[in-house]
Amino acid sequence: MVLPLKFIKKALPAIAALPIIFFGFLYYAFHEENSYPQAHSIDFYLKLSSVIRNVPVLDVIGTPQYFSSTGDGPKPPESTIWYTTSEKSEQSLAIKINAYLREQGFAPYTSQTLNVPIGDKKTVYQATFINRDRESLEFIISSLPMSNNLEVSVTHFN
């Protein structure tokens, strides 16, 4: 089938614009080294690892926050979620999120129960996970003394 010359002349500007649109989209999506995507936005799906996008959000207070970094030099790309929860038991949180991480193919590398003050928080649980692809994951539960709530933070280095 041969396309009519009239059609080709009309379609040529659109065809020529496709690479510009494509590379413009790539620039928009990846020009920032660090970003804070909103849940369910384009950046959320493009810049965060699926492990972080699907971390269980348990009894959340407010809105979960997300962070993404493309990495730089030897620093690997990273995706993070953190949120405040009304759950009062760090053991219950640890059990549920550890189970999710194991389902995602991560195995515990280290874990410890702590009581270490860091700024206005106190880290009460910290675990490091690793998978077969040598990707690591940091899972931290902190207590927030002013509110008696807990903060969950999960960072995936891939």
Which tens digit of pLDDT belongs to each residue from 17-65? 777 777 666 666 556 678 888 898 888 888 899 999 999 999 999 999 9
**How far, in Å, CA of 111 to CA of 138, rounded?**
10
- Long-range CB pairs of 119-127, under 8 A, 24+ apart, other chains included: 120/144, 120/145, 120/146, 121/145, 121/151, 124/90, 124/150, 125/90, 125/93, 125/94, 127/94, 127/98
**How far, in Å, CA of 86 to CA of 69, rounded?**
28
pLDDT score, position 73: 75
pLDDT score, position 29: 56
pTM flag (> 0.85): no
Third-level CATH fold of 34-157: Protein Transport Mog1p; Chain A (3.40.1000)
Which tens digit of pLDDT belongs to each residue from 88-108? 888 999 999 999 999 999 998
